Amino acid sequence: MAVTILVADDEVYIVELLSELLQMEGYQVLRAYDGTEALMAIERHCPDVVLTDNMMPGYSGLEVIAYLHHHPTCSAPVILMSAVTPVPIPPETHFLPKPFDIDELLALVAQLLPDQGSAASPEAALE
């Protein structure tokens, strides 16, 4: 089964760029363009990892994280992306400052999937 990643950001080009890069790595991607869409996406399909901006309309990234922490069945790890470091960063949340290095982001995603690692790639599936 493909690893699913939710990308939530109110900047359309960031969602589209990250979605394209993650799909090239073999991941299935859910897109959300604000915090409300992120919560709806989580309800429809619990992702394996959540990448979220902090400052978004509807609900902030911190509110999305709080929602996940209290969700009865979805406990996806979160990467919070922001140009401004929130204080405090919620427990078990990985912070990635904007602008970020794409290779660093991809490595962090793979790190958060220890059972999968890079299993999203066809080469890993053959091992």
Q: Is the peptide bond before 90 cis (omega within 30 degrees of 0)?
A: no
Instruction: Report d(CA 70, CA 62) in Å as an integer.
Output: 13
Residue 126's pLDDT is 32
Per-residue pLDDT of the chain (127 residues; tens, 9 = 90+): 689 999 999 999 999 999 999 999 999 999 999 999 999 999 999 999 999 999 999 999 999 999 999 999 999 999 999 999 877 888 889 999 999 999 999 999 999 986 754 444 433 333 3
Name the pairing type of β-strands 78-82 and 93-97: parallel
Residue 2's pLDDT is 86
CATH code, 87: 3.40.50.2300
Mapping DSSP to helix (H, G, I), strand (E, B) and coil, where does residue 93 land?
Answer: strand
- Please count the structural domains in the chain: 1
Tell me the whole-structure pTM to 2 decimals: 0.87
- By the 10 Å C-beta count (0-12 exposed, 13-18 middle, 19+ buried), 71 is classed as middle
The stretches of 25-121 forming alpha helices (DSSP H) are 35-44, 61-69, 102-111
Domain residues for the domain of 82 are: 4-126
